[in-house]
Amino acid sequence: MTVCPSIHTLVSSIAELPPDLRQIAERLYMVEHEHAGSSQITRVFNRWLHEGTSFDARRVRPVPGNEAIERLQEQCESDPECEFCRSNIVRLLERRPEARVQDGCLSLTPISRFARHHRVFFSAEHHPLPTRSMRAVIEQMFSCSERWALEEQDDRQSPLRFYFVAWNILCGSAIHGHIQASLTSAFAQASVEHLMRTRLDYAARYASDFFNDVAAVSDALGLAVRGGQAIAMPSLTPVKECEVWLLQPAVSPANLPEDLLSLMTRTMLRLADDGPACKAFNVAVAFPPLLPTAGWEGFPVFCRIVDRGWPLLGVPDWGAMEMFGTRIVANDPWHVAGQIK
């Protein structure tokens, strides 16, 4: 069976368990005995991005014990030893002459970089997911990062066109809330470059915009959430649990538009509110080039959010299948849509 055949192919099947494994499945997945003998596995392949995911509701991640989550929660609330908190910034500035504090946001150049022009921006709040001030925290970090990107681009003879922001929440080297921004010249980050080329190939074949058609499919399936000019939609081929795409036409270079900021805040808070606290997330935001660049016309500001569970508590969510085969997740797009609506 196929769905939206110009973009996706979908195949669904029932996997049967032998009788001697049904009681184990009942205990392991907490399902009633009459339903323990089989499970539905749905495989979706994006024909243009060449990405695929298998959905199996039983592939749920184990949840850490309450004590482990409570200890992590305490570390999120405060840490007197955190060198990025306001009480310790003076000592850090003495050791790191390239560090700056602007509009309450600490920024510095990381020792280990993924690009020559790479800067880290730390929130004024220690908590990586502050529910009461999430929008203000995101706006602060992205505003400071935007200013750096534009200033850095203006100061260079060779054009730095491609601006990219990565945000690791409770799955990086520091708990304190922070984003990482990079600027590159020759080409964008590989996944973003792939999206751009996919968009060009798709337009050449169908005379239509790839992102607009993906959004139309999400609308038709009842998955999309709109806020002004921005749209959020669960991915049909998520890289890991609860992946959500957010899009909005660009307003100005390196700027995170207001509607996208609001929808991004709402989406993250609703995903974080589902289940036990202190879940980790990976967030990435790709921007159109800072300078006019052939082939990139009309490329939107594009955000991806993925729920990573609890990697800091030793709960793995990435293995050989994810790295070399097909990603396997438990939450289908309709479940995710229900969370973020």
> Is 213 domain-assigned?
yes
Q: Which residues pair with 178 in a beta bridge?
A: 122
Asked if residue 211 is part of any domain, the answer here is yes
Q: By C-alpha distance, which of 262, 209, 260, 271 is closest to 238?
A: 271
Q: Do the domain assignments include residue 41?
A: no
Angle at 61 between CA 122 and CA 66, to 5 degrees: 70
Cα distance between residue 57 and residue 329, in whole Å: 8
Closest CA to 101 of 76, 124, 67: 124
Higher pLDDT, 321 or 288: 288
Q: Distance from CA of residue 149 to its chain's centroid?
A: 21
For residue 252, give the CATH number of its domain.
3.30.428.10
In a domain, 249, yes or no: yes
Structurally, the chain folds into a number of domains equal to 1
**pLDDT range class, residue 38, cuts 50, 70, 90:** low
**For residue 32, is pLDDT > 70?**
no
Residue 23 counted as domain residue: no
Q: What is the mean pLDDT of residues 211-218?
A: 94
Q: Pick the more confident residue, 53 or 2.
A: 53
Distance CA 74, CA 72 (A): 5
The larger pLDDT score, comparing residue 324 to residue 57, is at: 324
Instruction: Return the sign of the alpha-carbon dihedral for residues 61, 278, 120, 292.
Output: positive
Q: How far is CA 273 from the centre of its chain?
A: 16
Q: Is residue 157 part of a domain?
A: yes
Residues 113-136 have a mean pLDDT of 92
Q: How far apart are the first and last CA of the chain?
A: 28
| Per-residue pLDDT reduced to its tens digit, 98-116 | 999 988 899 999 988 989 9
Q: What is the mean pLDDT of residues 28-36?
A: 51
- The answer to whether residue 33 scores a pLDDT higher than 60 is no
The total of other beta-carbon atoms located within 10 Å of residue 280's CB is 23
Note whether residue 45 is domain-resident: no
Q: Which of 231-240, 291-300, 320-329 has the weakest average pLDDT?
A: 320-329
Mean pLDDT of the chain: 89
pLDDT at 28: 57
- Give me the pLDDT at residue 87, please: 87
Q: How confident is the model at residue 41 (pLDDT cuts 50, 70, 90)?
A: confident
Whether pLDDT at 158 is above 80? no
pLDDT at 258: 97
Mean pLDDT on 59-70: 83
pLDDT of 142 strictly over 50: yes
Contact 164, 110 (CB under 8 A): no
Q: What band does 29 get if pLDDT is binned at 50, 70 and 90?
A: low
User: Which residue's entry shows tokens 């099947």?
Assistant: 13
Is the pLDDT at 76 greater than 90? The verdict is yes
* Residue 97 placed within a domain: yes
Give which of 131, 178, 98 is closest to 277, Cα–Cα. 131
| Structure confidence by residue, pLDDT tens digits, 289-316 | 999 999 999 999 999 999 998 888 887 7
The pLDDT score that the predictor gives to residue 26 is: 61
Phi-psi label, residue 189: left if phi above 0, alpha if psi -120 to 50, beta otherwise = beta
What is the gyration radius of the CA atoms in the chain, in angstroms? 21
CA 124 and chain centroid, separation: 22
- Show the domain range for 184: 67-320+330-340
Q: Please write the tens of the pLDDT for every residue from 246-259.
A: 999 999 999 999 99
